[in-house]
Amino acid sequence: MARLLNDEEITRQLQQLPGWSRSEDAIVATIEAPDFPAAIRIVTAVADQAESMNHHPDIDIRWRTTHWLLTTHDAGGLTQLDIELAHVISDAARREGVQL
């Protein structure tokens, strides 16, 4: 199982993740896509990579706005998998022209 990150590691790595912030034992971001199909393309792109990673985001989809929450449920907090998945999500958004 992935080990929990400490506060310093989380803070340092969030500096490379614009648009992401810490929320207790998770990191969160909101993505405003140009339209609903673009929002779903982002979700779909992430879904494929999350499945490959076997690490999955919590997603709230509301029209073109998606809210993302990442935490490692098995570990009870933040691990490097969450940081890696955040980069995957940010990259998928960027491919749709959305800069977090």
Residues of this chain that interact with ligand H2B (CB under 6 A) are: 54-56, 72-74
* Token duo for residue 86: 């955040």
Q: In this complex, which beta carbon is closest to ligand H2B, that of residue 2 or of residue 61?
A: 2
Q: In this complex, which beta carbon is closest to ligand H2B, that of residue 64 or of residue 80?
A: 80
Rounded least distance, CB 80 to ligand H2B, Å: 12
Rounded least distance, CB 86 to ligand H2B, Å: 11
* 79 burial via Cβ count (<10 Å: 0-12, 13-18, 19+): buried
In angstroms, rounded to a whole number, what is the distance separating the alpha carbons of residues 87 and 48?
A: 14
In angstroms, rounded to a whole number, what is the distance separating the alpha carbons of residues 28 and 68?
A: 5
Rounded least distance, CB 37 to ligand H2B, Å: 26
